[in-house]
Amino acid sequence: MEEQTIDTQALGEKIVKVLKSIYDPEIPVDIYELGLIYDVFVNEDCNVKILMTLTTPNCPVAETLPVEVEDKVKSLKMVNDAEVEITFDPPWTQDLMSEEAKLELGML
């Protein structure tokens, strides 16, 4: 039986593209550029685990945003399953935002 090689880097780039289409409703910047995504893990079974945070623990989208992230990542053809884990360690700060996000928000 021939083993199928998964291009996890290409899949990772597709996942990032999806993450960049999800916006924090209070800030007009996508969650990736905001620095809310801490890590994306893809295993050889194409199961994805996303470690992310929220701007605050009592963020109004704490219930819906992780579900939206999971659903959108699961919608990718190559993804078998996706799980989002929320962490507040380390807590999110504006320092985690990309230069692009800071520019967008007039912070530079």
62-74 confidence digits (pLDDT tens):
889 999 999 999 9
| Global confidence as pTM | 0.89
Its CATH class, for the domain covering 8-92, is alpha beta
Q: Which residues of the chain have pLDDT under 50?
A: 1-3
Contacts with 72 (C-beta within 8 Å, 6 or more apart), sequence order: 18, 19, 21, 22
Q: By C-alpha distance, which of 23, 43, 45, 42 is closest to 34?
A: 23
Which pLDDT score is estimated for 47? 95
Digit-coded pLDDT (tens) for 86-103: 999 999 999 999 999 999
